[in-house]
Amino acid sequence: MARAVTTRRKAINTALAWAIGLLIFFPILWTILTSFKTEGQAIADPPIFLFFDWTLENYAIVQERSDYMRYLVNSIIIALGSTALGIVIAVPAAWSMAFVPSKRTKDILMWMLSTKMLPAVGVLYPIYLLFIKMGLLDSRMGLVVVLMLINLPIIVWMLYTYFKEIPGEILEAARMDGATLKEEIIYILTPMAVPGIASTLLLNVILAWNEAFWTLNLTAAKAAPLTAFIASYSSPEGLFYAKLSAASTMAIAPILILGWFSQKQLVRGLTFGAVK
């Protein structure tokens, strides 16, 4: 039952929530605004909020000077590649755990989760060394594999919790109606599994896009994605706020948009189903 709420109360809630929401969002808004300013206006005293000469020059300069596109392409390949590879490996595993559970299923799931807890810094040198030995240092291939491995437990877990929700009776009903195994998979299981797989995909693209330990430590120039590109602004020369903002805006925009679609799945994915 919904409780009766006075309009006045609702107005107070609204005002308070919007004020806090805008405050939290402000650094992002400020970055986006600054990216359209000239460098001079970006550090103007007092700061200019909206009434400046809007310009796109920073975006052009960032692309021209630092070859933004190359980093972007690396980010896309690494995020999509590691997620796709992870899904291909995780779907059969999660599938069999959800539909043909054995006594050890729970143990295997818990063990997979435990590999996610391994602190990256604890295995930094071995991975670094293996990468040198295998010629994977500063290669997209290497990062695709590492990011796939660090996110694999989350992918398996998410898929498992989604697959678990597919009722087994529906399969039996189909079988009674004479569906073959192939028909069962194509017409019944796949359509029911697609939403879960899509959410998993989305969340993992986001996680891989933002991963900033391995991408910073295992790349130099060739395979560096946007995380490393932005990090190169940590020791800048001269005025750079507007350019930093333009570069940052370009780096976060795709993920902000994807993220808004995935907020519900976020909870499930990041708590390993502990909070739904």
Partner 1 sequence: MATQHSRSAARLMMAPAVILLLGWMLVPLTMTLYFSFKKYLPLRGGDLGWVGFDNYVRFVTSSAFWPSIYATLIIVGGVLVITVTLGVLLALLLDRPMWGQGIVRILVIAPFFVMPTVSALVWKNMFMDPINGLFAHLWKFFGAEPVQWMSQASLPSIIMIVSWQWLPFATLILLTAIQSLDGEQLEASEMDGAPPLKRFWFIILPHMSRAITVVILIQTIFLLAVFAEIFVTTGGAFGTKTLSYLIFQRVLESQNIGLGSAGGVYAIILANIIAIFLMRIVGKNLDN
**Segment 48 to 87, residues that bind partner 1, using CB under 8 A:** none
Among residues 43, 61, 76, 188, which is the contact residue for partner 1, using CB under 8 A? Answer: 43
Give the binding range for partner 1 (CB under 8 A) out of 64-72, 134-142, 193-201, 206-214.
206-214
Site mask for partner 1 (CB under 8 A), range 87-126, x = bound: --xx-xx-xxx-xx-x---x-xxx-xxxx-xxxxxxxxxx
Task: Check residue 13 for interaction with partner 1 (CB under 8 A).
Answer: yes
Nearest distance from C-beta of residue 213 to partner 1, angstroms:
5
The stretch among 50-58, 63-71, 183-191, 210-218 that binds partner 1 (CB under 8 A) is 210-218
Task: Read off the DSSP letter of residue 274.
Answer: S
Residue 144: name the closest of 81, 203, 88 by CA: 81
Q: CB-wise, 63 or 254, nearer to partner 1?
A: 254
The window from 60-68, 134-142, 191-199, 203-211 that contacts partner 1 (CB under 8 A) reads 203-211
Q: How far apart are CA 222 and CA 110, in angstroms?
A: 37
Distance CA 171, CA 181 (A): 10
Total residues at interface with partner 1 (CB under 8 A):
96
Per CB under 8 A, the segment of 56-64, 133-141, 188-196, 258-266 that binds partner 1 is 258-266
DSSP assignment of 106-173: HHHHHHHHHHHTS-GGGGHHHHHHHHHHTT-TT-HHHHHHHHHHHHHHHHHHHHHHHHHTS-HHHHHH
How far apart, in whole angstroms, are the C-alpha atoms of residue 121 and residue 105?
A: 29
Calculate the dihedral angle through the C-alpha atoms of 29, 34, 35, 36, rounding to the nearest 10 degrees.
110
Toward partner 1, which CB reaches closer, 140 or 243? 243
Nearer to partner 1, 61 or 93 (CB): 93
CB of 2 to partner 1, least distance (A): 8
Spatial separation of the C-alpha atoms in residues 205 and 265, rounded to whole Å:
13
Report the distance separating Cα 94 and Cα 158, nearest Å.
9
Pick from 121, 163, 140: nearest CA to 82: 140
* Nearest CA among 168, 151, 133 for reference residue 269: 151
**First-to-last CA distance in the chain?**
22
For partner 1, give the closer residue by CB, 122 or 191: 122
Closest distance to partner 1 from the beta carbon of 205 (Å): 11
Residue 47 sits in the site that holds partner 1 (CB under 8 A)? yes
Binding to partner 1 in span 222-251, by CB under 8 A = 226-228, 230-231, 233-234, 240-241, 244-245, 248, 251
Pick from 61, 77, 188, 213 the residue near partner 1 by CB under 8 A: 213
Which residue number, 83 or 245, has a Cβ lying nearer to partner 1?
245
Q: Which two tokens stand for residue 216?
A: 């910073």
Q: Of residues 14, 54, 73, 134, which one binds partner 1 by CB under 8 A?
A: 14
User: What angle (nearest 5°) sits at the alpha carbon of residue 29, between those of residues 27 and 35?
Assistant: 100
Instruction: Check binding of 171 to partner 1 (CB under 8 A).
Output: no
Give least dist CB 27 to partner 1, A: 6
Six token digits for residue 225: 């994605």
Q: Helix, strand or coil for residue 148?
A: helix
